[in-house]
Structure 1
Amino acid sequence: MSTYNGARYLREQIDSVLAQEGVDLELVCVDDGSSDDTPAILAEYAARDPRVSWSANPRNLGPTASFERAMSLCRGEFIAPCDQDDYCEPGKLRTLLAAIGDADLAYCDSRYMDGDGRDLGCRVSGHMRMLEGRRPVEFLFGNSVSGHASLVRRSLFEQARPFPEGVYHDWWLALCAAGRNGVRYVPEPLVRFRRHCDAYSPMGHKHKGMGKRCESANWLKMRGTLAQAYAARDFRDADVAARLHADLSRALDGGTSAPLLTTLWSQRAAAPHWSGRPGLDALRLWTRFAKKLRRARAVA
């Protein structure tokens, strides 16, 4: 768990982790420079429960690097990233451990709740297709894997290090898992995922705070960064990622978009399954890229 000014919800989340059924666990917490009561709460739990340990980062690292450090301090064969403001159902870890098999990552669905813990009546799966399998290009186009819902194999974590800057750690781990031994999905909602204005995760926010042009630039930049980082690692389809990064960079720099269109079409089987017809879905994916390119160029 990486924490930062999370005192309001922290006790509830720690209690839910320590109440996990059917597994042996340790809870490793890293604080990223909190100015509230978070360090005191972590120290309190560590003093009374030997399963809990905590340390403070020497400086504020940001969420991705802080999670990487926290995961590096874990000792088990499996690691489950955990947000400070959610609630884990008692069978979460046991269910994910049973589901992972020979895959590198297993994840579950989540139910949304508001800042006061009220159920919002919807799940993460209600607004996106939940990806699984061994096709990393799918995870370059989009991601449905949330860190708070995941269980990852230590060997995957070690190969994925260091995490690239400017990307979400859960998306990066899912992409790398798809390029190794695959991702498994459990449709059961095993986490109550809190939505509130102070959440770091985009899915955790109740509103968006940027214009369409900036959002488009960030959308493209994130995929370009992921593709570049993935292409530099020894994972399956690294050559496709390298080509996608090169074509996207050329298009963002004002060059022709034709090579990007060709690459997207060649990977049409990995396009998001909006209609279930690969050709049509690939055209819709290209339309999305083209629209965001136009907006991003307007920002530049």
Structure 2
Amino acid sequence: MSEAPLVTIVALCHNHAPFLREALDSILAQTYPHLEVWLVDDASTDDSPAILREYAARHPSWHLHLLSENVGNCRAFNLAFRQSRGEFLIDFATDDVLLPERVGQQVAAFRQNDSTVGMVYSNAELIAEDGQLLGLHHRPDGHGGLLPSPTSGWVFAEVLRRYFISTPTMMMRRACLAQLGGYDETLAYEDFDFWVRASREWQFLYQDAVTTRKRKHPRSMSSKAYRRHDPYLASTIRVCAKALALARTPAEHAALATRLRWELRQAVRRHRHAEARELFGLLRQTTRPTLPDHALATWSRLFARNSK
């Protein structure tokens, strides 16, 4: 068998001081030895930089970037990705925790499968701010399956239709990420865009194992979505426009229509009327809107007019 591949872990930190030592210790606890570690701090204002300096001093092979201004997750990751060497990469938010077998399990999954697999993902434990176990991302449905149901193979249509991947569990093949040019730095978040663009040309593989602890807390990126002035919905609309350009079949257009209708409902419910109009415009390019679609768009337009 060929030499074990190098795996790059890009540890991204922004004000994660309460969780940072546990996250970095989980890198040190990995049973897989061939690791390249990049510590990137995105202009934290808490004690995170001091903790990162401490770990970098204790582990001289680790690379440390302390950014002087907040550039966002996508650009911060790309700065490390473009200098790294690993055949596989993990985008590791330092409020989460890697379980000890994580890297070894996922490298084995890549090596046992086709070279067209661009990303491996798995199950995750969900934990509270204090570390208390909340449950699983993919939880038993009582009938021998999991909710949300994981999918492997050519999953482009499923990625358009629904959320099912636990982002912190992903390991990406460098060739896949390089083909995409890294993350899109114009977006406020990375995962949906990566899923859409990567799954068009690469297979995804679900590994039935719990590899990661994902922390749920009020300051996490996922908790900010759909708030009144958050930038995430605008990024989602841009990714949906990319997906429309990539969709080739009636089934793929139908899957995107399902996503657009869901996003449209969220936008209307949270009074994001400008975004609702954009989503309805994309829906009209994807499929023939239904009466409920028109009703949502009309209600949003009237509400926006009356609230001026």
What interval of TM-score do these two structures reach, taking the shorter chain for normalisation? 0.7 to 0.9
SS at match of 2:51: helix
Which of these residues, 176, 181, 184, is aligned with residue 156 of structure 1? 176
Superposition RMSD on alpha carbons, in Å? 3.6
Which of these residues, 131, 137, 140, is aligned with residue 157 of structure 2? 137
Which of these residues, 241, 251, 269, is aligned with residue 228 of structure 1? 241
**What whole-Å deviation, never above 9, does each CA across 1:246-275 have from its counterpart, x for those lacking one?**
xx799638769655334x9xxxxxxxxxxx
SS at match of 1:197: coil
Aligned counterpart, 1:197: 218
Q: Which amino acid aligns with 2:42?
A: D
Q: What count of residue pairs does the alignment treat as equivalent? A: 264
Structure richer in strand, relative to its length: 2
Q: Which amino acid aligns with 1:68?
A: N
1:61 paired with 2:71, answer: yes
Superposition deviation, residue 46 in structure 1: 1.0
Question: TM-score normalized by structure 2?
Answer: 0.72
Query: Sequence identity of aligned pairs in percent?
Result: 25
Change (3 A) 1:138 1:289: farther
User: Quick check: 1:252–1:293 contact (8 Å CA) kept in 2?
Assistant: no
Report the Cα distance in structure 2 between the residues aligned to 1:4 and 1:259, rounded to whole angstroms: 38
Aligned counterpart, 2:16: 6
Q: Which amino acid aligns with 2:82?
A: S
SS at match of 2:221: coil
**What whole-Å deviation, never above 9, does each CA across 1:198-225 have from its counterpart, x for those lacking one?**
11124xx7xx7747xx89x965x54431
Change (3 A) 1:17 1:295: farther
Report the Cα distance in structure 1 between the residues aligned to 2:197 and 2:40, rounded to whole angstroms: 24
Q: Which amino acid aligns with 2:48?
A: T
Change (3 A) 1:39 1:141: same
Change (3 A) 1:257 1:6: closer
Question: Structure 1 stretches of 5 or more lacking a match?
Answer: 265-285
User: Quick check: 2:126–2:216 contact (8 Å CA) kept in 1?
Assistant: yes
Moved more, 179-188 or 286-295: 286-295
Report the Cα distance in structure 2 between the residues aligned to 1:11 and 1:143, rounded to whole angstroms: 30
Superposition deviation, residue 12 in structure 1: 0.4
Q: Which amino acid aligns with 1:11?
A: R
Which of these residues, 42, 48, 65, is aligned with residue 32 of structure 1? 42
User: Quick check: 1:140–1:226 contact (8 Å CA) kept in 2?
Assistant: no
Aligned counterpart, 1:113: 127
Report the Cα distance in structure 2 between the residues aligned to 1:258 and 1:11, rounded to whole angstroms: 49
SS at match of 1:179: helix
Change (3 A) 1:199 1:114: same
Question: Structure 2 stretches of 5 or more lacking a match?
Answer: 1-10, 140-146, 261-274
